[in-house]
Structure formats: C-alpha cells, structure tokens
Structure 1
Amino acid sequence: MKKTVFSLMTASLLAAPVYAATLEDVENSFYPYKNGSKEFTNLKPGMTINQSNVESVKDALDPAMYRFIKNGDYEIRVGATTSFDLHESYVNATKTNLNTTTLGEKNGEIQGFIAGRPFPEEPSLDDPRAGEKMAFNFKYGYNWGDTGAVYPFYWKFRDMASGKQERMLKFNFHFLNYKHRVKQEPMPDITPNPSNLFRGIYVQVLEPFDVKNTQLLIHRYEDDLKRDNAYLYLGFQRRVRRLSSGQTTDAFLGSDLMIEDFEGYNGRISDMNWTYKGTRYMLMPYYNHNDEPLDPETHKDDEGYQVVSFTGQGQCFPNVSWQVRKVYEVESSPVDPNHPLSKRVHFMDAQTFAIPRTNAYDRKGDLWKIFTIGQSHPDHHLPANKGSGVSIDDAFSMVDLQANHCTTGQFKGQLDPKLSPENKFSVQNLRASGR
C-alpha cells in the first residue's frame, strides 16, 4: 500500500511542470539586450514608418498600430534599442528571494513573495499559468518605484476626426507601495499597516472649476482575492462615497479611460483570466524624454520642464520615437460576464514589465480601444529622476475607435517621496483636501 501511494505521488510530481528560476534567468530577465537586440531586415534606427513602407515591417507592430499607420493616422520614428536598467536594489531583491514565490490553487493567489520580481524565469507556452505569473510580475514591478507622483498630469479630450480639443483636465496622481519596498525607507514595509494594504493610489483634480477637488483614493490589499476599497470625493457635493466594483469600468470623468485602465491594468489579478500568448520583438514607445519634440504650451514651470507633444490624426498620438523591444503578449479576459470588455491584449515589456501597449475588445469581440503609454529613460528626464532605475510613464493615448475619439495624457513624473506622504492616502485626507 505504501509503495503504491509513493508511486502515485511520484507520478503526479513528475507530471507537474517545474519552473525553478536560476541566477542566469534573472540576468536574462533584467538585461535582455546585453548581447544586442533582434534585427529586422527592413527596420533601422532613424527611419520613419508610414503608409509607404508599413507592409515591410508589419511583423514588428501589433495589429492596432499596424492599422493606424496603414490608414495614415500616425507615423512612427524609429530609435535605437536601449537598455532600461531597473534599480539594482530591485534586481538584488529578486536574486535574494529567488524561487520563494509560488502560485496558490486559485487564480490570483500567491505565496511566499517578499520583494523583487516574483517570476524572473522565461515564460513557457507549456505552463498553463504563465500568463498569471506575468501579471504578478507587472503588479509587483518597479513602476514608479516605491513611491511616485505625476505632478501635474494633463488630460485632453479630443474629437479624432477634427482634432478639436474639447476639454482639458489637470490632475495630481500619487502612488505609494506599503509593502515589498526595496529602495526607500521604511523597507521592506510601512508599519503599522493593520489593513495589510499593498498599494495606494490617490488622484486629485486641480482644474477646471466644475470638477476641481474631485478626488479618487484606491486601497489595494496584499490579498489579491480581497476587493479593493475605492473612494470618490466630489467637490460640489463635499462628501466621500465608496465606489462599487462596477464603477471602476465606467468612463472616468467623461474620458475614454476606465479606472481599471490606469497604468495598463489597474485591477486585481483575480478579476481576469490570464493567458501567455508568446514572446515577440516589436516596436514600443521607449525613448529619452529630453530628446523628443516637446509641447511649449501645455506646461511651463521654473525647472524648464516641458511635456511631450502629440501628433497624428486628431493629435491623438504621442510624438515620440519607438524602439524594438522584447515583449510578452498576454491576454486577459474578465471573470465577470457583465464586464464591458471581452478581453485585453497586453504587450508587456520583458525588461521593465511596464505595459506600453494594450488593445481592448468589446463584448462582441471587435477592437474597441487602443492604449499607449510612452516610457522615458529616467536618465534623460528630470534631473531628480536620474539614476532612479524607474521606467518613467511619460505620455498616454487612449483611442476609442468606435467613437472616433481620444483622451491623451502628458506627465511630469517625479520620484520624490515627499510628494506622496502616507497621510495623503487616507479617507480623512479626502475630506480635508476638499474643503
């Protein structure tokens, strides 16, 4: 009997895939361009991709971007591939905690995670949960580091056909990691943390007057199976109300974005089914902010900082260069059948695990919205961001194909922890700031 049980256990262990990461995997994960990047015969730095030559480089574009260029809506300037090295403290945390993290039985369950990149090994199509692992790498990525702010942040609503700017909102966005911190004190966690929060997001509208002091607060729990607490303060009502889960998929303040769209995906891992579709080399919006055409009108300050400009059909596309990057294509489909989307296709950058490109499909399966988040190298941005090892979210474009409309975003991303103190991420702060 004991021999039979042992045989069954051995068979089950042999049948289960084993994906133990090595230090070589960590090195390859964080430095994928140490031996150069993939070369495309018809794609060279310095060239411009437009209607006349897009067919020759189709393999380096996602389907939506290919469609935009083929229709003459946008042209891409190609830059040289450069390494966006994340901060060594995050890399070292990955090495120190290598193979301590495992997935639980349920989608969205994770065990043993301490800090760094949870799953640095190369994903495999043979691993049925590879997509979920990539999603956790994004969730626990180094986006904005331990603390960051977009201070200020400009959103413009545009008619894509005419290019008319209908409205501009000015925000401040703030981000704070309560846990798994690797660079800014306190480390690894902020204590006390009685609710066991993982992350806080705080948003305040500064202009225009009719929505001034509208504020959004999101508390994301360490336990991914526990639903976020989200609060909205409406300035004209002067009261805080809790948002239902369904409201995170509504249009936010009349824009083309849902709250769930923020940063490429702003929800629980457990709210989606994740599928890894393969590894590609593609053009992605990675660049040096200071080398790009800047907008002299939208933002001016004493530091001389200017936000990037926009171009293309309706002024709906960031006027930045793109480079060939190693990318993981990951599909997320909502668990909730009432969700307005049938799926998103995320193109995750393999080095930084930012999500610079996402194509979203409606319930019928038709392409609906296309999200682009431009990524600036921190050493070619604000002087204070130099050496931070953070890929800086620098501009966004959300295009609604069906409405022929877009919302664009221009950032002043700042990695100054003094801009995002812990007390800013409280319900009490919503009331105090709204007075």
Structure 2
Amino acid sequence: MRNKTLLTLALSAVMISQAQAEVSDAVIESSFYPYKNGVPSFPGLSAGMTINQGNVDQFKDALDPAMYSFIKNGDTELKVGETTDFVLDESYIEATRKYSSGVTLGAGHGEISETVAGRPFPEEPKLDDPRAGEKLAWNFKYGYNWGDSASIYPFYWKYRDMNTGKVERTIKFNFHFLNFTHRTQHDPVPAIDPNPSEFFRGTYAEVLEPYDLKNTQLLIHRFEDDTKLDNVYLYLGFQRRVRRLSSGQTTDAFLGSDLMIEDFEGYNGRISDMNWTYKGTQNILMPMYNHNDLTNFDTEVHQNDPDGFQMVAYGGKGGCFQDITWQLRKVYVLESDPVDENHPISKRVHFIDAQTYTIPRTISYDRKGDLWRSFTIGQAHPDYHLPINKGSGVSIDDSVTMIDVQANHCTTAQFKGIVDPNLSPVDTFTVQNMRARGK
C-alpha cells in the first residue's frame, strides 16, 4: 500500500509538471504575441487620422482620462498610427518558457520565489485574483526595458512654462542601465558574477551641462531582494563628495524638474513600496511608433550627430507634447498606492503595454486625490531607430514629457537610446566611479 501511494504521488507530480509545461507554452505564446491573430480596432478610428478638440468625444473610450482632457481642452492633438508588433528578443521569451512555470508570490508584501530570467507571470491577469496587480508589477520589474544593458547618450531635459512655452532650463545627461541578474541576451547570462551585494539592477546618470550642475551624478542600486531599500547616491560637483540619499528623497523633485527619481521609466521603486491593484484590460491609444517614420524632428537639439540621428520634436500647449504617432494597443490598467502614508501622491494609474510590459503612460494624483501629473514615455520600435538597435527586441524609450497639470509646467526629454553593452561596463555602477569622474 505504501509503495502504491508513493507511486501515485510520483505520477501525480509528473502529470502536474507536464500540465504546467503545456499550459506555460500556450500562455507564453499569447503573452508575447497578442496581435498574432489581428490588431485591436475602435469604431471610426484609423491610421493616419488626427484626434482633436472637434472629434475627441467620439474616441473618449480609446484614450486614458488625462489625454482625453488635454485634447478636449485644445492643449494638443493626437496623430494615429498603425498598430505594430513589438516582439521582444527571443532570448527573453525562451527564458520565460524555461523558468516561469514555477514562480510564485511569497506570503509577504514584495516577496517572490526564486526567479532566474524572463517574465515571471506570463498568464493573463484576472480581476478575481487579489494579487493580479502585484504579478503585473513583478512582470514590469523583471521586464525587458532596455534589455540587459543600454545607454541614453545623450539625454536632454528641458524645463518649460506651459503657459508661455518658455524653456527655463536645459540639462544634458548621459544615462546608463545594467541588469546584474535576470540577463538573457548579453554575456554573462543569466547573471554577472561576482555580485556580492546581490544587486538586481544599476542605474547611473551624469550631468554634462550646464556648468553649475556639471559632474552631478546619480547612482541607484536595486537589490534582488525587493524588501531591501535601494542604495541611492548623489554626487554634487560643487561639493565634490558623494552623499547617500534617504528613501524619502527619491520622491523629491529631481534637480528642480517635474519628476521624482521614483518616476523614472514609469516606476522606479520597489514592488514592496506600493499596494498594487489590477483594474482591467483595455484597448487604448499608446505613444508607440517607428522613430524613423516620423516626419517632424527637433531642428535645434543634438545637431551633427555622427549617426544622423534626429530627436523627437515637441508642440502643443507650451511645447509640452511629443510630435509622434499613437497606436491602439492592448493595455493592462494597474493602480498603485503608496504603503507610506506620508508619500506625496495618493496613487498612480499605470497603463502597461501588454506585449512589452513597458509603461508608456502614467497618471499621478496628489494626496487630496486630484489629478497632479501626466507622464508619457514615447516608445520607439528598435528596428526603425538606430542601426545598432535593430534586432535587439528592446522597446526603445525615445521621448518623455511629465506635465504638472496643477502648476501648468512640464519637463520634456529628448534622447538617443543605444542598446550597446560596451557603453555600460560594470565598474560604471560604483561609488568609486562617481568619485573618479567628479575630480
């Protein structure tokens, strides 16, 4: 009897394992190729048209609330492009096939079972799953944003008065990103070794201009263990020293802009810092496009580029809106509210692209619950961008605007994103490097 019971248990384990593998293959196919059987549609909406103040009510349900309000008020117009396939790199998809079936959430907030690489929860989210939002957040954290390693080289921030259109200040940066773990494309795979501090990701930024901010540097270490506070360091050139920022300072206005450090890339914090709620799936217009197919570029920024690269132009009220095309895409609506009651926002609503798990649109609300800021990250297809990005499978962050609707102010960003691991070696992401570069 005992042997029979053991045999039954062993066979059950094999059957469960096989069932998971079969389901996983089918689910992953759906997760990474949502447009395989056709693209979404909306009555009256077609590529090539413009949504403006006169017709926006017809397309209200194809827009997020903030963008609808901007168009309704006459602040901007929206050009519609064709929905295109942003297929991620095959190495990331295969890592998901190989490693995702056994991933589970931990009992505590911000806890997850050991993961190696790929999308940890490729299954379609369900409204009756109380932790569906948390799973979407983990998919974003371990997503393919910038791949294993990339740089923004250079990066221009402009502070703008939305009422007058005056550019108050321009800051020129270089940004670098590196995954220490969850790597799939560039050696070493799946992790950099040694990694004694058990970092997951590093972000490094250096100010090149203007003179009064030159050599200001930012370094962020995010740990594999999400319950550990990030290491965040700031080097101020005029002080010639590195200081460590407290967790509260990541929600301050960074260098006087309309962005917090926590806003970077749609959300730049820990999973454990927020409560996450999945609010449903929609087909809405998202700022995703082919950069090389745009017809209007900025004629003043970054001239004489060696690659002939041109940066996105801006228009609309105050010059706060990207002159790009938007496409109708499958989107997960994810709400996050801070665990810390002293946080300056009451909640964010993230509109996550279901194919890439990037966050092209985020709306933030102040502590009173009023709309505060609207964040747009233009996503460019890698095959219609710089030659070095072709075939990388990385949805390229290509343009940014953060609009403070209460202050009538915005911060725009234009940049040249490069998927090249040689630009971001490991020693870039050290405090020693900050000190050396600051001398």
Using the size of structure 1 for normalisation, the TM-score is 0.95
Match of 2:62 in 1: 60
Does residue 271 of structure 2 align to residue 269 of structure 1? yes
Q: Which residue of 1 aligns with 2:39?
A: 37
Q: Name the residue aligned to 1:336.
A: 340
1:322 aligns with 2:339: no
How far apart are residue 112 of structure 1 and its match?
Answer: 2.6
Give, in whole Å, the separation in 2 of the partners of 1:112 and 1:23: 20
Residue number among 393, 396, 409 corresponding to 2:413 in the alignment: 409
Q: 1:147-189 CA distances to partner (integer Å, 9 max, x unpaired)?
A: 0100100000000001010000000010000001001001111
Distance apart, 1:113 and its partner CA: 1.1
Match of 1:202 in 2: 204
SS in 2 for 1:84: coil
Distance, in Å, in 2 between the alignment partners of 1:39 and 1:326 is 10
Matching residue within 230, 233, 236 for 2:235: 233
| Secondary structure of the corresponding residue to residue 236 of structure 1 | coil
Partners of 1:308 and 1:320 within 8 A in 2: yes
Counterpart-to-counterpart distance in 1, 2:346 and 2:282: 23
The yes-or-no answer on 1:425 pairing with 2:432 is no
Pick the aligned partner of 1:213 from 212, 215, 239.
Answer: 215
Residue in 1 aligned with 2:53?
51
Q: Say whether 1:175 aligns with 2:177.
A: yes
Structure 2 counterparts to residues 82-231 of structure 1, below 5 A:
82-231=84-233
State the alpha-carbon separation in 1 of the partners of residues 199 and 367 from structure 2. 32
Instruction: Return the alpha-carbon distance in structure 2 between the equivalents of residues 237 and 379 of structure 1.
Output: 43
Counterpart pick for 1:296 among 296, 299, 310: 299
Unaligned runs of 5+ in 1: 1-17
AA aligned to 1:405 is: H
Which residue in the other structure is 1:367 paired with? Answer: 371
**Bigger shift: residues 41-50 or 20-29:** 20-29
Distance 1:99 1:302 in 2: 45
CA contact (8 A) 1:21 1:120 kept: no
1:181 touches 1:188 (CA, 8 Å); kept in 2? Answer: yes
Secondary structure of the residue that 2:100 maps to in structure 1?
coil
- Quick one: which amino acid aligns to residue 294 of structure 1? F
**Amino acid corresponding to residue 185 of structure 1 in structure 2:** D
User: Secondary structure at 1:346's aligned position in 2?
Assistant: strand
Q: State the SS of the aligned residue for 2:243.
A: strand
Partner of 2:17 in structure 1? none
One-letter amino acid of the counterpart of residue 384, structure 1:
I
Deviation at 1:107, TM superposition (A): 1.4
The answer on 1:347 being equivalent to 2:362 is no
Instruction: Name structure 2 gaps, 5 residues minimum.
Output: 1-19
Displacement of 1:97:
1.1
Q: Which amino acid aligns with 1:317?
A: F
- The residue identity in structure 1 corresponding to 2:301 is T
Task: Summarize the Cα distance change of 1:433–1:21 in structure 2 as closer, same or farther, 3 Å threshold.
Answer: farther
Q: Give me the whole-angstrom Cα distance separating, in 1, the residues matched to 2:262 and 2:337.
A: 13
Per-residue deviation, 1:340? 0.0
Amino acid at match of 2:142: Y
Counterpart residue number, 2:390? 386
Paired residue total: 418
Q: Does 1:252 align with 2:254?
A: yes
Question: Is the CA contact 1:21–1:119 (under 8 Å) kept in the aligned structure 2?
Answer: no
Q: Aligned AA for 1:202? A: Y
- Is residue 232–residue 242 contact of structure 1 (8 Å, CA) maintained in 2? yes
Letter in 2 for 1:29: S
Deviation track 1:308-344 (CA, whole Å, cap 9, x = no partner) reads: 1111100001100000000000000000000000000
Residue 13 of structure 1: aligned partner: none
1:189 partner letter? A
Deviation (angstroms), 1:21: 5.0
Aligned residue in 1 for 2:3: none
Deviates more, 1:64-73 or 1:285-294: 285-294
Question: For residues 221 and 398 of structure 1, what CA distance do their matches in structure 2 show?
Answer: 27
Give the deviation of 1:22 after TM superposition: 2.5
Deviations 1:333-387 (A, max 9, x none): 0000000000000000000000000000000000000000000000000000000
The answer to which of 292-301 and 249-258 deviates more is 292-301
- Rounded to whole Å, the distance in 1 between the matches of 2:270 and 2:379 is 23
Letter of the 1:296 counterpart: T
1:356 alignment partner, one of 341, 360, 377: 360
Instruction: Provide runs of 4+ in structure 1 moved above 4 Å.
Output: none
CA distances 1:208-255 after superposition (whole Å, capped 9, x unpaired): 000000000000000000000000000000000000001000000000
Residue deviations 1:404-424 (CA, integer Å, cap 9, x gap): 000000010001111100000
Shift of the alpha carbon at 1:281?
0.2
Corresponding residue to 1:376 among 351, 376, 380: 380
1:245 counterpart letter in structure 2: S
Alignment correspondent of 2:6: none
| Higher deviation after alignment, 96-105 or 383-392 | 96-105
- AA in 2 matched with 1:163: G
**Aligned-residue CA RMSD (Å):** 1.1
Shift of 1:98: 2.9
SS, match of residue 224 in structure 1: coil
Q: Secondary structure at the match of 2:157?
A: strand
Distance in 2 between residues matched to 1:262 and 1:142, nearest whole Å: 15
- Judging changes above 3 Å, is the alpha-carbon distance between structure 1 residues 107 and 21 closer, same or farther for their aligned structure 2 residues? farther
